[in-house]
Amino acid sequence: MPGWLTRIGERSQRVDTVAACFAAHRPVFLVLDQRRAAERCAALVGQPGWHDYLTLFAGTPLAPLIEASPWLIELKLGSEAWQAAAALCQEQRCGWAFQPAQDTRLADLADHLRRLFVLDDPHGGQSLVNVQDPAAWTTLLAAGSDTSYAHCIGPLGQVVTPTPLPHWQAWLPTDEADEAAAPPLTHELERALKEIQRAWWLSQAADIPLQKLPPEWLERLTQLAEADIARWRDRKRLLPLVRHADAATWRHAQAILFDASLTVQQKISELERHS
């Protein structure tokens, strides 16, 4: 298993009720990927408990993508708006929530988040990170260094993210970090941002928390991808093989996977026989 996944358990704890993580008398905030459920997100505006929001790409070099921009929303905990937005985060992987330790202006929180969308990458360029996606945000928090983690949490205080399963993860707050520069996108972080998509799917499909996924399952899923078995529905057909094959059976499966004379569908059919 990618070692960084174990840090989810080291830097956060499982919670079954997200509202229990926050102080009831203070507002909560959500980073919401409104493009994933545009109509449901638009319906949030003006609901009881809705306070304010900012479009995070506004006023940044990402402004040409404004229609796809995530929102930063301020809500009243427990309100209709909160209930609807939290359901969007969990059911459709549309975002995540946080509550600063002290009163903080919405604009200041937005400025902090805006610095995390475009990071210097190890190739001498810059890369866009979908911070609004709970999978990508989980990766930034778990796969980065301690310094990077502290910077990302920064002024956000208590951060709570949905998971592939019905529970949430509450991340350990830290002292506010230096806001001068965003953390770099290292080679490890780049790999992790690719790995998280497979790990997220596998966690949900197998009903196992991300940090407890057996390493060989992820390695096998990666090999399916390398053999051009890219569609999730095909990978689901092969999930019994991924989960239950012994070493000898998987070696035979590898021979099928990387047999250049077989089409993808032929590989899937052959592999299913060994599931």
**Do 170 and 225 have their domain in common?**
no
The 10 Å CB-count burial string (b at 16+, else e) for 165-178 is beebbbbebbebbe
**Do 135 and 264 have their domain in common?**
no
Q: Give the range of the structural domain holding residue 225, as residue numbers without chain letter.
A: 214-273
Query: What is the C-alpha to C-alpha distance for residues 272 and 150, in angstroms, rounded to an integer?
Result: 45
**Do 243 and 140 have their domain in common?**
no
**Do 114 and 31 have their domain in common?**
yes
Number of structural domains found in the chain: 2
pLDDT category of residue 173 using cuts at 50, 70 and 90? confident
User: Does 219 map to a domain?
Assistant: yes
User: Does 203 map to a domain?
Assistant: no
Query: What is the C-alpha to C-alpha distance for residues 147 and 250, in angstroms, rounded to an integer?
Result: 40
Whether the pLDDT of residue 122 is over 80: the answer is: yes
| Number of other CB atoms surrounding residue 134 within 10 Å | 27
Query: What is the C-alpha to C-alpha distance for residues 250 and 209, in angstroms, rounded to an integer?
Result: 24
**Do 260 and 184 have their domain in common?**
no
**Do 176 and 228 have their domain in common?**
no
Query: What is the C-alpha to C-alpha distance for residues 154 and 178, in angstroms, rounded to an integer?
Result: 8
Whether the pLDDT of residue 178 is over 60: the answer is: no
pLDDT category of residue 183 using cuts at 50, 70 and 90? confident
Instruction: Please identify, among 195, 223, 242, the residue that sits at the C-terminal boundary of a domain.
Output: 195
User: Does 206 map to a domain?
Assistant: no
Residue 124's alpha-carbon distances to 1, 3, 48, in angstroms, are 28, 25, 47
**Do 86 and 123 have their domain in common?**
yes
Amino acid 3: pLDDT: 82
- Tens-place pLDDT, residues 76-116: 999 999 999 999 999 999 999 999 988 899 999 999 999 99
**Do 97 and 218 have their domain in common?**
no
Name, in order, each residue with C-beta under 8 angstroms of 151's C-beta and a sequence gap of 6 or more.
177, 178, 182, 183
User: Does 202 map to a domain?
Assistant: no
Alpha-carbon torsion 92, 95, 96, 101, what sign? negative
**Do 67 and 118 have their domain in common?**
yes
Lowest mean pLDDT among 2-6, 75-79, 143-147: 2-6
